[in-house]
Structure 1
């Protein structure tokens, strides 16, 4: 609770206790005392209400969690320029304009993007010139978001037993948002602290996920077809 709200609440409680004590210790109850008691009670309740509204207007920001991993960017090779550009600018804005610590984009069971805090590469792959291909195994929460076709936000992952499905994204994430990419993928956004994402963050995240889905579907990589036979005489 902010300091000003604490002072207001303490003053209200103290005033209420003094009014009660004054009423109990009075030898007789007269109209003047009754009016004073009513005014004191109204003032005490007003001060406590100010403290409550103050706390709602300026809530204390939760402490950031010391997450593992290192800052990095991993993007699947072979993506076209339009897809790479969409992934790059969208993930950059989410990581800089919100309280997000990490982002993962999965498409057709492949991880096409990791950015922000990323877990270390498996042993033996750190010296590779290109990042290894990764897969993402969705759990019950991801499947629920796809079934509902909308964002699922876990404001405090400690309250959700199934939140361990996001440990492969980054262990110990205190808050997570997951949004489906149609029937073919998900975007997972992990926060630095509990309740760190606002309503505007959720709307912006959902809007970008819809845009990304259309980009991925439009620029989908088609199977390479066999060369057509050359016409006679060539």
Structure 2
């Protein structure tokens, strides 16, 4: 049975059990000539349990999570490397960015190192310069990544004007203490922990290459 159908069956079990239990209680009550006090108490308890099962079924439908919606990013698709970039570094950056853009929900990637943009790839904003803001400076100073999984209500995103203005999520990872890899997506809350660890591993590999 497909996973979706299994989940639907599990979600419907309280509803089915509640309706079936209530029906059986009614049949039992109608076919009993003399209702004893003990049976009346049992019937009352059964009615309460059936009502609770029906309530659980209703609540499950109300709290079912709505998957985050993607948006069409405002920007232009491009791939640009810094001039005079050594062939081995250019190959490394091309390989790393290709993996990230094709194997995650990422749509934009910028690699900034030693006050220079080494790579712009994917759907990007129209600005081609970076003036490091608070977030980017913190990432480079502390050497710790920043994960902004839902930028809808986050005012700090204005510093990333070189990315599409309607990006929904952002990951900023340090490259030693000299720069950062900035990745953006068009879907909020879309990066899994596995994605984050995998992208961080690629960033560490890039940082090692640039340090050599």
In the superposition, the TM-score normalised over structure 2's length comes to 0.76
- Give the counterpart of 2:211 among 210, 217, 220: 217
- Which residue number corresponds to residue 50 of structure 2? 40
1:31 aligns to 2:41 (yes or no): yes
Which residue number in structure 1 is paired with residue 92 of structure 2?
Answer: 86
CA contact (8 A) 1:167 1:173 kept: no
1:196: how far off? 1.7
Secondary structure, counterpart of 1:168 in structure 2: coil
Q: 2:175 aligns with which of 177, 181, 185?
A: 181
| CA deviation map 1:86-119 (0-9, x unaligned) | 1001100110101111100100111110001133
Q: Is 1:199 aligned to 2:193, yes or no?
A: yes
Q: RMSD value over aligned CA atoms?
A: 3.3
2:144 equivalent to 1:150:
yes
- Extract unaligned runs of 5+ from structure 1: 19-27, 122-133, 219-234
1:175, 1:191 within 8 Å by CA — same for their partners in 2? yes
Matched, 1:69 2:75: yes
> Could you say which structure has the higher helix fraction?
2
Of the three residues 144, 155, 165, the one matched with 1:171 is 165
Higher alpha-carbon deviation: 31-40 or 95-104: 31-40
Q: Work out the CA distance in 2 between the residues paired with 1:210 and 1:44.
A: 52
What is the rounded CA distance, in whole Å, between the counterparts of 2:140 and 2:111 in structure 1? 14
TM-score for both structures, normalised by structure 1: 0.69
- C-alpha distance in structure 2 between counterparts of 1:78 and 1:145, whole Å: 27
Residue 193 (structure 1) shift: 1.4
Query: Which residue is equivalent to 2:103?
Result: 97
1:133-180 superposed Cα distances (whole Å, 9 cap, x missing partner): x54211111222234322211111122211111122222211111011
Matches of 1:196 and 1:73 in 2, distance apart? 24
Partners of 1:202 and 1:62 lie apart in 2 by 18
Contact 1:8–1:50 (8 Å) recurs in 2:
no
Q: In 2, distance between residues paired with 1:60 and 1:49?
A: 14
* Superposed CA offset, 1:160-213 (max 9, x none): 211111122222211111011121001110101111211111111111111101
- Equivalent pairs counted in the alignment come to 189
Runs of 5+ consecutive residues of structure 2 not aligned to the other structure:
23-36
